[in-house]
Amino acid sequence: MDTIVDIGFPYHYLLEESKATGRPSAVFLGNDYKNMSQSLDRKTYIALTDQCLDYLRKNCKDCDLYYKPHPNETDEYTTFNLTGFKVIPKEENEVAEVFFWKRLGSVKYVFSVASTSAWFAYNFGMNAYTFLKLAETVLGKDIGSAADYFKQLPESFFIRDFNQPLVENKKLIGTDPISEGKLIEDLRGSKDVWFIVGDPAMLVIYISFVKLIRKNLPDKKVRMILSRHHRWERVKEAYYASEFDSVTSFPRNLYSLRPRKFLKIIRAVFAVKKFKLDPRDVLLCFANSNLIENCFLSFFPNKKIAVQFKEYFEINYGLRESDILRGEKLRIRPTVRIFSLLIEPLLGLYPSIYKEYRDGRVNNIVRFVRPATEIYDRIYLLSDKHSTNIV
């Protein structure tokens, strides 16, 4: 049996519901450059961003222009020339992936310097582009995970010259009947399916999988176990509560030896340990090695299925090397070592690894010590292998 299976993004289940509405828009995704490294030349970065915005003004004249601030931006957008642009107000500035999902019928183009949300938009069947090749010398290591995620994308995704014509590059979102069929067979005969989730940026992926399951197994109960943190405040609960038969939240607790925080960790562990699961239920795990997922994996003998990004999984488990981390020495904080070597085993949890690149602002290595194939019964790796360019 193949434990690791590639699977396409099941976005076609969402795209079936989309309709064109109103005047088209072009969206530029901002970056929180004030949170980047001290080595960043901010004046040069601002000038470069203004050139990017000029490119939109020149090539998207049939569109309403929007600047979408990064969630961690403060007042960065005030340093740019945003003539002709509308800034997405804070109350509407949802997680980018959700923002695009809710505006499928109106967003025509998406641009960024180095935001991985542009990668999502491209996979979502939108015309999406990056100015990364024009910004590499300015950003350096601040390119972050974009260097790894963008590597798989076609040449049409990259704008290499500000005089380059804008050519639509959206693609047809294909189906993946073989891999999707394998997943359905993994779930068939089970009772309820419990999604264990942590990142609201993956909400559109979660809901796509819910719709996949409901279309093929309409009588199946699909429930959510949520590791809640501040980023979930940027997503309306109505967006996901209506998709699941139930939603159970546990607070996210980052590892710490400070008494108050440590006590919260212990409470969370025992709360999960007391959780009621039917032995026939299946765990569909999207949260990697976070504490809540680790608890469910460690304490319950139920069938366990992981869903992760292919690039993310392969870098974490050493199947390929990250471009941005090549040759870099990663650090492990003392607290993380103590949890991995002592506390996690004492609590009956799978020991985990968390390696950071310097200040933790770029890619980090997050995984279990044991091979993932010894923990999950099946691992589905999300990849872009079932889509084709329209142009």
The model's pLDDT over 328-387, given as tens digits with 9 standing for 90+, comes to 677 888 999 999 999 999 999 999 998 876 654 556 788 899 999 999 999 999 987 544
Q: Which of 19, 239, 202 is nearest to 120 (CA)?
A: 202
Same domain as 88, residue 205 = no
C-beta separation of 242 from 229 below 8 A = no
Tell which of 103, 135, 170 closes a domain: 170
Q: In whole angstroms, what is the distance from residue 39 CA to residue 291 CA?
A: 34
Confidence band of 143 (pLDDT split at 50, 70, 90)? low
pLDDT for residue 345 = 96
C-beta separation of 336 from 255 below 8 A = yes
pLDDT for residue 389 = 44
pLDDT surpasses 60 at 96: yes
Confidence band of 120 (pLDDT split at 50, 70, 90)? confident
Same domain as 115, residue 26 = yes
Same domain as 61, residue 155 = yes
Amino acid letter, 104 = L
Tally helices (H) and strands (E) across the chain: 14, 16
pLDDT for residue 178 = 84
Same domain as 107, residue 38 = yes
Confidence band of 390 (pLDDT split at 50, 70, 90)? very low
What is the number of residues in the chain?
391
C-beta separation of 169 from 121 below 8 A = no
For the chain, the domain total comes to 2
Tell which of 170, 185, 212 closes a domain: 170
Same domain as 259, residue 286 = yes
DSSP letter string over 54-75? Answer: HHHHHH-TTSEEEEE--TT-SS
Same domain as 203, residue 165 = no
- State the sign of the Cα–Cα–Cα–Cα dihedral 337, 343, 345, 348: negative
Q: In whole angstroms, what is the distance from residue 35 CA to residue 108 CA?
A: 29
Same domain as 340, residue 199 = yes
Q: In whole angstroms, what is the distance from residue 361 CA to residue 186 CA?
A: 37
| Residue 152: strand, helix, or coil | helix
> Rounded mean pLDDT of the chain?
87
Mean pLDDT confidence for 61-86: 93
- Give the domain CATH number at 163: 3.40.50
Confidence band of 87 (pLDDT split at 50, 70, 90)? very high
Same domain as 346, residue 279 = yes
- Output the CA angle 195-199-203, nearest 5 degrees: 65
Tell which of 137, 170, 203 closes a domain: 170
Neighbouring residues of 156: CB distance < 8 A, sequence distance ≥ 6: 167, 169, 389, 391
pLDDT surpasses 70 at 106: yes
C-alpha dihedral over 252, 255, 256, 259, to 10 degrees? 60
C-beta separation of 306 from 5 below 8 A = no
| Residue 1: strand, helix, or coil | coil
**Pairwise pLDDT comparison (75 vs 36), residue with the higher score:** 75
Same domain as 119, residue 27 = yes
Same domain as 209, residue 110 = no
pLDDT for residue 366 = 85
pLDDT surpasses 50 at 263: yes
pLDDT surpasses 50 at 253: yes
Mean pLDDT confidence for 252-271: 95
C-beta separation of 283 from 296 below 8 A = yes
Straight-line distance from the first to the last Cα atom of the chain, in angstroms, rounded to the nearest whole number: 38
Same domain as 383, residue 339 = yes
> Which residue range forms the structural domain that includes residue 66?
18-170
**Pairwise pLDDT comparison (147 vs 52), residue with the higher score:** 52
Same domain as 179, residue 134 = no
